[in-house]
Amino acid sequence: MSEQTGTEKVEVQDNITTTTTVTDSITTTTSTTTTTIEETKTKETEIEHTGINPELTLINNPIIMNKLAGYQFFEKILKSPKKIVAPMVDHTYLAFRMLCRKYGSDMVYTPMMHSKNFATQKVYRKDNFSTCPEDRPLVVQFCGNEPEWVVKAAKYVENDCDAIDLNLGCPQQIARRGNYGSFLLDKPHIILPIVRALHQNIKVPIFCKIRLLPNLDDTIKLAKDLQDAGCQLLTVHGRTKEQKGQFAGVANWDAIARIKKELTIPVIANGSVLEYEDIDRCLNQTGADGVMSADGILANPAMFSGLNVDTIQVARDYLELCHKYPTQLGIARSHLFKMLKSKLDLQADLRDQLHQCATYPELSEIVEQLDHRIKTNAPQVKVLSNKEKRELKAKQEQEQKDQNTTTTTDNTNNNNKRDNNNEDETDQSDKKKVKTNNDKNNNEYVILTKDGASEPVPMQN
């Protein structure tokens, strides 16, 4: 798109290059003009000192006033996405978004980003946002409780995404302390001005993501108010903010259905979409326009494809994308833990080694070792829990006592045998005990020595 003069086009600070982050781009080339770093820094200086971008034309900007909305935008621009990847802090960065797109996702969200930090800190922008031309449709999500900062943050990315989403669903304590996310659901006097400001000042449509209030009628009223304020798509997580962690329970799809019937904008259903078969069940029960998944996608990024893809191959694909789109190693390692969990649970020594990996080649080596063990039907390795260790020690001690009381002291052979057993126990004290199941009828303990060698011994019944 060529740069326009006057108020037709707003060039945002820290422009994004083809596949880079929203920070200090050396140049941003369009079909007819180039924005240089000197021009960008001049704009940044004015904003930082005055708090006002002199190029922003609010409300009367024809691009903003004439932007597509509701179902018109949903169908023409987004192409009616059905399978949507949720915003996930520390997870939905560029490499993972591109992985999800490869395996059938129709639309992907960025992680939730703090609007004031994004608007004021170059390092925060660099660390948290990057994109590329293939990364579409893309929704950028912000949290915040002040219209000014949310709008300023959105201005940085409005040229490089399809929509801006306001997070009203985060239930974590950090959101309580910061007074954002789901802790604003009962504060419409804070929420609605933010949505109005975004709708009036940002050139792309505004979405919102909410959780249920304890009273469904209150949730419906809030949804209608958000729609009236300018929200063009609403995602409803079918749980309250209290339903999280071990208390999450099953998402209330019936509540989402009630909300959907009351609105005229697209509604996305979120919650309890963990497998491919859940997609149609959720759509049929809620009447929603699409489904959003978080945990299901983390465990199986290929879930939306409906294909039976080995997570080992998905992990390889992800690591390749991490090289193409640089990703912090800790984030990549976290993804591998989640997508390989069921396999790593059976090879606990590799799980522990993965935790210690400090380079990408080490991550790849763990994936290949895991694949080799699976293909060769290697013994399943499970580290004993502290309880299992205590029970094993008590059992061995009791067996030793029983043996001592029944052994004839005059029997030289038995005495020699006892000495050998004592030596074995001393030798075993420096070893790490790990439980393994070769098959259902032949349970063994595999003992890993300090140098990594292993030896199986029969399980004592």
Task: Evaluate whether the domain defined by 57-305 bears CATH number 3.60.20.30.
Answer: no
Q: What's the confidence (pLDDT) of residue 413?
A: 59
For 304-326, b/e burial (b = at least 16 CB within 10 A) is bbeeeeebbebbebbbebbeebe
Give the CA distances from residue 142 to residues 19, 205, 363, 400, 445, in Å, rounded to whole numbers and listed in that order. Answer: 21, 14, 31, 63, 50
User: pLDDT tens digit string along 332-391?
Assistant: 999 999 999 999 999 999 999 999 999 999 999 999 999 999 999 998 887 777 787 788
Q: Which of 266, 246, 244 is nearest to 256 (CA)?
A: 266
Task: Name the pLDDT band for 296 (thresholds 50, 70, 90).
Answer: very high
454 - beta bridge partners? 448
Q: What is the pLDDT of residues 217-266, one digit of tens each?
A: 999 999 999 999 999 999 999 999 999 888 899 999 999 999 999 999 99
CB 208 within 8 A of CB 138: no
Q: Tell me how far apart the alpha carbons of residues 367 and 360 are, in angstroms, rounded to a whole number.
A: 11
Q: Return the higher-pLDDT residue of 59 and 200.
A: 200
Give the whole-angstrom CA distance, residue 328 versus residue 88: 15
Strands 432-439 and 442-448, sheet pairing: antiparallel
d(CA 202, CA 102): 29
pLDDT (tens digit per residue) in 406-432 = 765 556 555 665 555 555 555 555 445
Residue 54 pLDDT exceeds 60: no
The pLDDT assigned to 94 comes to 98
pLDDT tens digits, one per residue of 248-257:
999 999 999 9
Q: Is residue 91 pLDDT above 50, yes or no?
A: yes
Q: What share of the chain is helix, strand, coil (3-state, %, to 5)?
A: 50, 15, 35
Q: Quick one: tokens of 85?
A: 């990847």
Query: Which DSSP string do the residues of 378-397 spell out, in sequence order?
Result: PPEEEEPPHHHHHHHHHHHH
Phi, psi torsion values for 255, nearest 5 degrees? -65, -40
Across the chain, mean pLDDT equals 82
> How much of the chain exceeds pLDDT 70, in percent?
74
pTM over 0.85: no
pLDDT, mean of residues 389-405 = 83
Residue 231 is a catalytic residue? no
Other CB atoms within 10 Å distance of the CB of residue 339: 23
Q: Where do runs of H (alpha helix) occur along 103-252?
A: 115-120, 122-128, 147-157, 173-178, 188-201, 216-229
Of these residues, 161, 170, 208, 322, which one is catalytic?
170
Contact criterion met (CB below 8 Å) for 290 and 270: no
Three-class DSSP category at 101 = helix
